[in-house]
Amino acid sequence: DGFIRIQRNGGIPEKNLLGLNVQMMTDKGLMTGLIGTRSHHLTSQEERYQVVPIMDLYIDCGFSSAEEAEKAGIHVGTPVVYQRTFYVNGSRIFSNALDDRIGLTSILEVGRRIAEKKDTVDAEVWIGTSVQEEWSLRGVIPLTRAVKPDAVLCCDMYPATDTPDLTGSADIALGHGPVISEYNFHGRGTLMGLIPDAALRNT
């Protein structure tokens, strides 16, 4: 019928999807669509406070048939991503997919500084990136097996807790410097956790 069903790939939160603008990476380029949502006055009182499962969501691009969608370059397996956003307020930036663009930016800056002082660095330093770290770190396993490092420093984002919904859960605030993780654990599915080496963490 021209509407497009979607499936999760990674840690996509269903609660954020209704009414969201998305882009499909079709064979013919990017195409914008909207994740459909039922009008408020047609939603029952009970449904207004429920999260719609991903299998019940659909993307509307204005197609009237499956053939029309296929002609536009959309087929089973076409990747769907958030529509890109970026704006600035002073020294702060707002964007989707900052996790882990900020981490990559930090790593590249560290690499640049090490390269400038390579004659004074008494170590062989490798800089690597990976995907799928949420899936049992499977993306980085080939890298560690190839390099066989003596020590690894991982760079990722960490949530600030100075927002109204997280106040009191920790003392991490935006703009107050980096965080060294003592322990973290997702505790669901294939999302495992990390207990950093104490000697390395305390160095």
Given the residues 14, 133, 134, 182, the one annotated as active site: 133
The one-letter amino acid at 26: T
Give yes or no: 134 in active site: no
Active site residues: 133
